[in-house]
Chains A and B, each alone.
Chain A
Amino acid sequence: MKLALGPVLYYWSAERLLAFYEEAAAAPVDIVYLGETVCSRRHSLRPPDWLALGERLAAAGKEVVLSTQALVESESDLKALRRLVSNGRFLVEANDMAAVKCLAGRGPFVAGTHLNVYNPATLAVLAELGAVRFVAPVEMSQAALAALQAERPAGVATEAWLYGRLPLAFSARCFTARHYNLQKDDCRFRCLDHPEGLSLFTLEGEPFLTLNGVQTLSAQVLNLLPVLDELRALRVDVVRVSPQARHTGRVLEVFRSVLDGTMDLRAALAVLEPLMPGAPCDGYWRGGAGMGWRGQARP
C-alpha cells in the first residue's frame, strides 16, 4: 500500500509552501500531489514553480502528480488547465470533467476525488479515456467501496482518503471574502491569514465546518488509521493524507510506521491525537453521517 500526500487545499505563502515540500521530499511518502485545486486567485507559486518543485520531489524519489482546479469557471481557468495537462512530464489528476476532456486519449491520468466515481460503469468510461487510478469520493462507505472494488476494471488502481479535513463542498461564492465583507474579485487574499482555514461553529459553540475560500471543509479530521486493515483487505492501492498546516511530516511518519508494521495501532493513535487540528471522524466509512466517530475496526 502506497502513501500519498494530497494537494495543499489552503492558501499558503510561497515560503511556507516551499518549506512544506522541502520537508515532504524527505518524508516517508510515495506520491506527492502538487498544485492549486481550490481557487484561481491563489498563486503563491506559478506553474513553472510547481514544475520545478515537481522535479525536486521526483529527484527525491517521489511519484509526482499535478492536480487540476476542481471548479472551472472562466476561460483563464481553462487556459491554466490546458497548461497543466500538456506539461509533458508529470501525471495529472483531473478534478473536473473539463480536465478529463483535455486529458482523454493523451495518456494516463488520475481520476480525482471530485469526479463522483460511485460505480464500475463510470470507472470503466474513465479507464477507456486513460484513467489509471481513481480517488474514491469522500462519502464512500466501506460496503460501497467493497462492491466497487469487486468489479473494478483491469489496470485501474484505487486511492482512498485516510487522513485530513474533508472537502465537503465548492461554491461560486468565496465564504472567506464574505466573512470580511469583501467581494470575491477583491478578496485581498484574506485566505493567507488563515493557513488552517477559518473555523465555523454552531450557535451552541460546536465546531462544525472550516471555511477555505470557495471550498468548505469539515471541522473534524478524517482518521481511518484504525481501519487500515479493512482498506488493505479491499485492495486499496494508495491511501491519501491531506496536508494540514501543522505536523503533517510527523503524521506521515506515524502512518508509514503503521504501514511498515513497526508501530502498533494504539501507540500510533496516541501519537496522532495531539497532532490533529480537530476531533476525529470516520462516519462515512461506516455508511453513516461523515462527522461520526467510532474509531475501531469491525469486530
Chain B
Amino acid sequence: MELVCPAGTLPALKAAVDHGADWVYIGFRDETNARNFAGLNFDAAAARQGIAYAHARGARVLVAINTYPQTQSWRRWTDAVDRAADVGADAVILADLGLLRYAATAHPRLALHLSVQGSATSYEAIELYRELFGIRRAVLPRVLSLAQVEQVVARTSVEIEVFGFGGLCVMVEGRCVLSSFVTGESPNTAGACSPARSVRWEPRGEGVDTRVGPVLVNRFAPGEKAGYPTLCKGRYRVAGQAYYAFEEPVSLNTLALLPKLAAMGVAAIKLEGRQRSPAYVEQITRVWRAAIDACRRDPAAYAVRREWAQALANVSEGQQCTLGAYHRPWK
C-alpha cells in the first residue's frame, strides 16, 4: 500500500517526502483545487521545486485540480492542467467530466486520478471514468463500509485509494453545497467549505459564539474549547433537543483497519490536511509510514502502537477519532 500525504506549502511537501510519503498531493493557488485557502498552495515555480525535491528522493507528486469549472472561467482550469503537466507532475487529480476529457486529450501521457470530489461510490461509476478517460486511480468518498470498499476493489481494475486520517467530511464529497447555501462558495465551485472570510468568533459573556455568514454554528460555554465552525459540525436544535445533529468535531482514523485494507487490495492510503502545518504533516506521515511498514512486514502481528495513537490524537480535531463509515454503526 502506498502512502499519499498532503502539502499546502513547500516546507510541508519536504516534511512529507523526508518522513516517508510515496506520493504528495498539492494544489495551485486558486479555486481550481478544493483547499483554496489564503496563504496556501503552490505557484508554478514552487511546484517545480517541490517536484524536483520529491523526485530526487523517490517520491511522486500529484496536483489536485478537483473543483468544477464554470463556463465563464473554464480556461483557468485547463491552464491549471497544462501547468501541472508542464511542471512535471506525476499525475493530476480531477473530478469534472469535461476537464478529464481535456486532460486525456491534451496530455495523453499525464496520469489521471479521479478525485473524491467525483462522488464515485461504486465500481460502475469508476469503470465509466476508466472507459472514457483511462483513469489509473480513484479516491473513494468517505461513505462506504469496509465490505463495500472490498466490493469496489474486487470489481474494477482501477487502483483504489481511501482516506486514512484527517478531518472527516460527513457528507458525500462533490454532493454537498451546504457551504454555498450559507456563503455563496462551496467546495464544488470555489474550493472552499465554510470559508474563513465568512467565519466570525463572537465573544458572549465568558463564552464565544461561532458563525458562518449569518448562521450560528455553535455556542461555547466559558472554558469550552471553540473549534473552527464547519456547518456540518455545528450544534443545532431538532425537535427541542440541542446537539451535534450531523457529527461531533472528530477526525477520521483508520490505523486499526490497515491489515484489512491491505488484504482487500486497497492501493493507497490518503491523509487529509493540506491546510495544516509542516509539523502536522511530519507527524502524521511519520506515524503512517511506520504503520504501513509494520503491516507490510507482518500483517498478522500488526497492532496499533500506543505512541502512534497518541501522536495522531494530539493532532486530531477535538482530540477525538472515529472509524467513520468504514464502521457500520457510525452510520
Contacts and interface: CB of A to CB of B under 8 A. Distances in A.
A230 B325 CA distance: 43
B177 A118 contact: no
Chain B binding surface, main DSSP class: mixed
Contacts of A102: 124
B175 A170 contact: yes
Interface in B12-70: 68-70
Counting chain A CB atoms within 10 Å of each CB, the highest count among B143, B144, B145, B186 belongs to B143
Interface string A124-153: 111000000000011100011001101100
A166 B182 CA distance: 13
Contact of A172 (B142, B177, B189): B142
Interface of A is mostly: mixed
Interface string B165-184: 00000111011111011111
Greatest chain A CB density within 10 A among B122, B125, B145 is at: B122
Given A71-B175, A116-B188, A202-B215, A173 B124 contact: no
A interface, how many residues as a size bin? 35 or more
A290 B180 contact: yes
Contact of A147 (B68, B72, B180, B236): B72
B301 interface: no
Contacts of A203: 216, 218-219, 235-237, 242
Interface string A61-103: 0000000001111110110010000000000000011101110
Contacts of A174: 331
B78 to A, nearest CB: 9
A40 to B, nearest CB: 12
A290 B238 CA distance: 22
A52 to B, nearest CB: 27
Contacts of B182: 289-291
A204 B129 CA distance: 45
A233 B168 CA distance: 42
A173 B170 contact: yes
B201 interface: no
Given A96-B125, A116-B68, A124-B101, 12 more contacts: A73-B145, A124-B98, A126-B97, A169-B175, A171-B172, A171-B246, A172-B331, A173-B331, A175-B245, A178-B245, A203-B216, A211-B245
Interface of B: 68-72, 74, 95-99, 101-102, 118-122, 124-125, 127-129, 131-132, 142-145, 148, 151, 170-172, 174-178, 180-184, 186, 188-189, 213, 215-219, 232, 235-239, 241-242, 245-247, 324-325, 328-331
